[in-house]
Amino acid sequence: MPRTRKPIKVKEPIRLRTKELANGSKSLYLDIYRNGKRTYEYLKMYLIPETDRNARQQNETTMAAANAIKSKRIIELTSGEAGIMNHKDKVYLLDWMQLYKEEQKKRGKKNTGQIKSVTDILKEYAGERFTLNQIDLTFCHGYIDYMLTSYRPKGKPLSASTRNTYYQIFNGALNAAVRAKRILKNPFNEMEKSEKPKMPESVRSYMTIEEVRSLIATPMQNEGVKSAYLFSCFCGLRISDIIGLQWKDVFIDNGQYRLAVAMQKTKEPIYLPLSNEALKWMPERGDKTADDHVFDLPSGINQLIKPWAKAAGISKRFTFHTARHTFATMMLTLGADLYTVSKLLGHTSVKMTQVYAKIVNKKKDDAVNLTNGLFD
């Protein structure tokens, strides 16, 4: 008698699973596995302990709803991979970019001008009738190539840093479309890292210790601005944070002066210890209240400090932000570790601080190479 073959069980790309909660309930979520990658979608639906008939019926209703969502997700996934999209989901790319710009503005982001520039590029590159669901890896490669070879605002090619910014903007817009379930995936995620625009290594202008001494010795018409710059050299605060600094942000902890600052750029709160050198350049409080500003600074500071730098014999690029670069390189040169300097600067990642480490390493190389040829 021939053996009956068991039917082949097809593995579903999405499975409905539960997670035990402390209160005895179970949270329902989708376990999505496709192309070697696993993601999860928590449904915010829960099974309660089945203590009576009503509880069992409630759980049956919840499971039916969860399975319906699961089936819908499977259809969306497989349809998208087959290139099938429901007509009612058709969204024009330029409309999505406009919506993305409005959402970023609501969130207080300051990149709306850059989003408009990216939208203009996409309009030139793809036209007005291109839809989100038409975007694939080839389109994304073409977008990068178009910025590199064809797009010429004011007749000039885009700089490497601008290309990187415009890539990041479009990548962010596509990630937002994935989150909004307008598209199933962002093709940029399939692109090799070497194919993506890179941010060129920035050149950070900073003052050497000798140049800081020269600035201290050189008088300036507005001594308040001079004090603010030198204060930044010894604490690393940005000009925006110094302008916003109030006396209530200054306190003493076990004999150590500190600042409690929410960084204007990153919103990252830091508790910054102040050295004696930094305190030398902080104004006297006098009768000022807690809500009064520590520094009383005019507008146009960068224009005010340039004659001062020139008088001090400094010919390199000089802006107020060089004080922050000076603090970072000074700390690393004097032996502070990269992690500590990163925290003092309020960086959200040590990677942001590594550019200063490269500067210090270059200084070490230059110092060692001073002996080259001396004994030939």
CA 142 to chain centre: 25
Write down the pLDDT at residue 108: 82
Cα-Cα-Cα-Cα dihedral of 334, 335, 339, 340, to 10°? -60
**Averaged pLDDT for residues 174-195:** 91
Do 25 and 129 belong together in one domain? no
Strands 14-20 and 250-253: unpaired
Question: Are residue 30 and residue 99 in the same domain, yes or no?
Answer: no
- Tell me how far apart the alpha carbons of residues 139 and 54 are, in angstroms, rounded to a whole number: 53
Confirm if 92 and 132 have CB atoms less than 8 A apart.
Answer: yes
Claim to verify: residue 333 and residue 278 sit in the same structural domain: yes
Confidence label for 3 from pLDDT (cuts 50, 70 and 90): low
Return the residue matching tokens 């039916």: 64
Q: Which ranges in the chain belong to alpha helices (H)? A: 53-81, 93-106, 112-126, 137-149, 160-179, 209-217, 223-233, 239-244, 276-280, 301-311, 322-333, 338-345, 354-368
Going by pLDDT thresholds of 50, 70 and 90, the confidence category of residue 5 is low
Task: Give the C-alpha separation, 90 to 86, whole Å.
Answer: 7
pLDDT digits (tens, 9 = 90+) for 316-370: 989 999 999 999 989 988 888 888 888 888 887 788 788 777 777 766 666 556 5
85 falls in which pLDDT band (50, 70, 90)?
Answer: very low
Q: Are residues 240 and 346 in the same domain?
A: yes
The token pair at 190 is: 């399939």
What's the CATH number where 332 sits? 1.10.443.10
- Token pair listed for 355: 């550019």
From 187, 218, 245, the end of a domain falls on 187
Return d(Cα 290, Cα 300) in angstroms, integer: 26
Q: For tokens 């496709």, what's the residue?
A: 34
Judged against a pLDDT cut of 60, whether residue 80 lies above it is answered with: no
Instruction: Please state the pTM of the whole predicted model.
Output: 0.52
Q: Is 304 found in the same domain as 224?
A: yes
Same domain, 164 and 226: no
Statement to judge: residues 271 and 342 lie in one domain: yes
Residue 373 lies in a domain: no
pLDDT at 201 over 70: no
Predicted local confidence at residue 23, as pLDDT: 86
Of 25-29, 70-74, 95-99, 164-168, the range with the lowest mean pLDDT is 70-74
Determine phi and psi for 257, rounding to 5 degrees: -70, 135
Is the residue at 37 inside a domain?
yes
Counting the structural domains of the chain, the total is: 3
- Which is more confidently placed, 56 or 268? 56
Per-residue b or e along 204-213, where b marks 16 or more CB atoms closer than 10 Å to that residue's CB? bebbeeebbe
Give residue 279's pLDDT: 95
Q: Domain end: 30, 53, 80, which one?
A: 80
For the chain, the average pLDDT equals: 86
| In a shared domain, residues 65 and 140 | no
In a domain, 329, yes or no: yes
Residues 122 and 22 placed together within one structural domain of the fold: no
Instruction: Report how far residue 109's alpha carbon sits from residue 46's, in angstroms, rounded to the nearest whole number.
Output: 36
Q: Which of 187, 220, 247 is the last residue of a domain?
A: 187
Residue 201 lies in a domain: no
- Residue 48's alpha-carbon distances to 16, 31, 45, 92, in angstroms, are 16, 20, 10, 43
Give the span between the Cα atoms of 376 and 374, in whole angstroms. Answer: 6
| Residue 88 pLDDT exceeds 50 | no
Residue 209 corresponds to which tokens in the numbers above?
């210790």
On whether both 182 and 292 belong to a single domain, the answer is no
Report if residue 86 sits inside a domain. Answer: no
**What is the per-residue pLDDT for 33?**
82
Distance CA 350, CA 148 (A): 30
Query: Which one has a higher pLDDT value, 264 or 47?
Result: 47
Q: Are residues 243 and 361 in the same domain?
A: yes
Partnered with residue 92 across adjacent β-strands are 131
Chain segment 104-129, per-residue pLDDT in tens: 988 888 788 999 999 999 999 999 88
Q: What is the pLDDT of residues 301-328, one digit of tens each?
A: 999 999 999 999 999 989 999 999 999 9
Does residue 85 sit within a domain? Answer: no
pLDDT given for residue 71 in this prediction: 83
Q: What is residue 374's predicted lDDT score, i.e. its pLDDT?
A: 47
Can you give the pLDDT at residue 45?
87
Based on the fold, state whether residues 20 and 117 are members of the same structural domain.
Answer: no
pLDDT of residue 376: 53
Which neighbouring-strand residues pair with 120? none
Would you list the DSSP string of 34-79?
ETTEEEEEEEEEEEPP--SHHHHHHHHHHHHHHHHHHHHHHHHHHH
Domain of residue 122: give its range.
Answer: 91-187
Answer yes or no: is 322 within a domain: yes
Question: Taking every pair of C-alpha atoms in the chain, what is the biggest distance, in angstroms?
Answer: 106
Q: Considering the domain boundaries, does residue 6 fall inside one?
A: no
Contacts of 230 (CB under 8 A, 6+ apart): 212, 215, 216, 280, 281, 323
pLDDT at 87: 42
Cα–Cα distances (Å) from 68 to 45, 58, 75, 246, 250, in that order, read 13, 16, 11, 56, 57
